[in-house]
Amino acid sequence: MAVILTSASGTGGESLGLADGKLRPCPDSPNCVSTQSQSKRQAMDPLPYLETREKSRERILTIVESMKRTKIAERTESYIHVEFRSALWGFVDDVEFLFDDAARLVHFRSASRTGYYDFGVNRRRMKQISEKYGAALP
């Protein structure tokens, strides 16, 4: 049992961060969604800025910090990496936000750290975050 739980959490970092100023592409598996994906099954719409990057960033941080089993792993002025841990087995999903000042958009990527299929968890989480974020739009 300990081996399963240890391997379930994964080590992370292999496909995180930026590449050429963009979020890294999703793997070819159904357990990832991204606003920068070219695949229809993985694509989602980015979020518009709330007046400024700072206000948008604070809104995102407020939302994710209010959610259960979250850990802010990294935060800069233009990038946030959040780890979401499942309640039962401790599986980790990595969620990244990239603040694009030129386009005035918040891009995101949400992916399971291990496994292949996530039963739509990443998409549902990002829809929930998007809806909470959208409630603050004028």
pLDDT tens for residues 79-122? 999 999 988 888 899 999 999 999 999 999 999 998 887 878 99
Handedness of CA 51, 105, 69, 120 (dihedral sign): positive
In a domain? residue 81: yes
For the cut 60, the answer to whether the pLDDT of residue 21 exceeds it is yes
In a domain? residue 104: yes
Domain range holding 41?
Answer: 2-9+23-134
pLDDT given for residue 14 in this prediction: 58
What average pLDDT is seen over the chain?
88
Q: Quick one: residue 119, left, alpha or beta (phi over 0 = left, psi -120 to 50 = alpha)?
A: left
CA distance 128 to 122: 10
CATH number (domain holding residue 124): 3.30.310
In a domain? residue 60: yes
For the cut 70, the answer to whether the pLDDT of residue 1 exceeds it is no
CA distance 46 to 104: 10
pLDDT given for residue 120 in this prediction: 84
Which has more confidence, 30 or 5?
30
